[in-house]
Amino acid sequence: MKPKVFMVLFLIFSGWMPLAQAEAVGENEPGGLSQYYAEVLAYYPALKSQHANIEAAFAEKLAAYGLLLPSVSGAVQVDVTDDPAAVFSHKLKQEAFTAGDFAVDSLNSPRHRTNWHWTLEAQMPLFNGFQTITAIQSSALLAKSVQLQEKLTRQEAFLLALEAYLNSAISKTVLQSAKAITTDAEQDLKQADELKAKGMILGADFYAAKVLNAALLQQMHRLETAQDMSVIAANLLRGMMPQLPFEPSVIFKEQIFDSTDLNAWLGEAYANRLDLKAIEAAIDARRKEVFRAKTSALPKIKGFGAVSEDTRDWRTGGENFMLGVKGEMPIFDPAYAARVRKAKAELKKLEAERWALKDRITQKVSQTHLTRQALAKDYQVVLQAFEDAKEAVRLTESLYREGRKSIVDVMEMRQALLASEMRARELGMQAELYLVNLQFFSGTLDEEAIQNTIHRIDGLS
């Protein structure tokens, strides 16, 4: 029995260990924005879809190159017939004629004959009206377009990861501050209640302070809900269970606003935007397709060759071969005009989409740049207001103990402190997000820029 018990315990323990490790990893992850971004990339469905598109484009490219190679096919056929012409042909191919086969009766009314026919045929395109070369060029351009779209999707994934990570980190920080402020407010109210009982403060001030404290508690409850929602959003983005613990770590630094003007950002966007490059590659591919449609009216020449064998009994038979060149040219192709017209229409559609994309890029870059400029004006003001609120709370508490300020004044200052911190954290997050968004919209959010942002957030630089 002991070996069986040991085996059962081993199986239970070995099954429990991965679960325990997964739970421990889940509680400790992610170890910074770098790890969180890696998890988002590993799960992000849109990126997986782009990977599938790349595989499909690569397959299309291989198929286009395959048109340069000869095609080889094999066939086998068996038939039994007493048709005079067929029997004559079978005997001729089988090299099975005898002198008696030329008798009139034998020619007119032959016996039925079995024929096994084996053939191996190859065709090689020699000239096909530029169809193959344009197919290769078009598929290569489309593959380039898809690869650029994949890089753009990775950048979009980073934007989503950064926003979710910062939102969760700031929600956590502000909630901790709110809890500390409400704890201090509760202590103030408890002391004020004792002073009211002694007649040292007015009842009106005490109850007014309770109303203000209730507002603080409601704000804290809203912040708790916001924190829970931010954790759910962050976990869903990396493909985890919604309620899995998520502990982001951010080193909050003062934002530095650069002085790059709008025209410089727009110039970068027109030169570097990946989706703009992708659609331009698609337009080039479509131009190749227009040329391909036009040249479909040209003649096509191919070489061919075949070897075959005909036998009746699989022991004897005749072997044959054939080599030749074949040319084809459409004299009247009713679908030609429609084919060319469709290719041109698809080209015009892509060109219109390119102009629409450039307009959206201009709009997004302009809006983001102007919004960040407005943030730059407010940022120092809000930071100073936050510092002033902390000092105001300290001084008001001191004056309250001296009897020169009321409990209402203290509560109002605590409310102002929480509001100013929330606004300061919010502006700090927005400043970081708008910078990265500006880099994304201008096409400068390459891998180096992403790593610089990660190092800045994780406090590595």
Element (H, E) at 389: helix 336-401
| Cβ atoms of residues 205 and 142 within 8 Å | no
pLDDT tops 80 at residue 106: no
Kindly report, residue by residue over 355-397, the tens digit of the pLDDT.
999 999 999 999 999 999 888 888 889 889 989 999 998 898 8
Rounded Cα–Cα distance for residues 454 and 169 (Å): 14
52-56, 102-106, 275-279, 375-379: which range is least confident on average? 102-106
Q: Global pTM?
A: 0.79
Read off the pLDDT of each residue in 422-441 and give the average, rounded to a whole number: 90
pLDDT tops 80 at residue 3: no
pLDDT tops 70 at residue 25: no
What pLDDT score was predicted for residue 317? 79
SS (H, E, C) 321-339: EEEEEEEECCCCCCCHHHH
From the centroid of its chain, how far is CA 348?
Answer: 27
- Nearest Cα to Cα of residue 269 among 362, 147, 177, 402: 362
Query: Mean pLDDT, the chain, as a whole number?
Result: 85
Of the pLDDT bands very low, low, confident and very high (cuts 50, 70, 90), residue 20 is very low
DSSP SS3 for 3: helix
Of the pLDDT bands very low, low, confident and very high (cuts 50, 70, 90), residue 124 is very high
Rounded Cα–Cα distance for residues 291 and 136 (Å): 13
What pLDDT score was predicted for residue 59? 95
What pLDDT score was predicted for residue 301? 93
**Is the pLDDT higher at 94 or at 134?**
134
- Nearest Cα to Cα of residue 276 among 442, 41, 154: 442
157-161, 403-407, 408-412: which range is least confident on average? 403-407
Residue 312 CA: distances (Å) to CA of 49, 89, 90, 307, 308: 56, 13, 9, 17, 14
What pLDDT score was predicted for residue 4? 42
Round to the nearest angstrom and report the end-to-end CA distance of the chain: 61
Rounded Cα–Cα distance for residues 264 and 365 (Å): 10
User: DSSP assignment, residue 404?
Assistant: S
Read off the pLDDT of each residue in 51-64 and give the average, rounded to a whole number: 94
Rounded Cα–Cα distance for residues 74 and 121 (Å): 6
What pLDDT score was predicted for residue 200? 62
Of the pLDDT bands very low, low, confident and very high (cuts 50, 70, 90), residue 31 is low
- Cα–Cα–Cα angle for 229, 424, 440, nearest 5°? 70
**Is the pLDDT higher at 3 or at 224?**
224
What pLDDT score was predicted for residue 334? 92
Of the pLDDT bands very low, low, confident and very high (cuts 50, 70, 90), residue 1 is very low
**Is the pLDDT higher at 90 or at 205?**
90
Of the pLDDT bands very low, low, confident and very high (cuts 50, 70, 90), residue 234 is very high
Read off the pLDDT of each residue in 418-440 and give the average, rounded to a whole number: 90
Kindly report, residue by residue over 174-227, the tens digit of the pLDDT.
888 888 888 888 887 787 777 666 666 667 777 887 888 888 899 989 999 999
Read off the pLDDT of each residue in 406-413 and give the average, rounded to a whole number: 85
Dmax (CA) of the chain: 143
The CATH code of domain 60-70+129-300+335-458 reads: 1.20.1600.10
pLDDT tops 90 at residue 351: yes
What pLDDT score was predicted for residue 88? 82
What pLDDT score was predicted for residue 209? 79
Of the pLDDT bands very low, low, confident and very high (cuts 50, 70, 90), residue 18 is very low
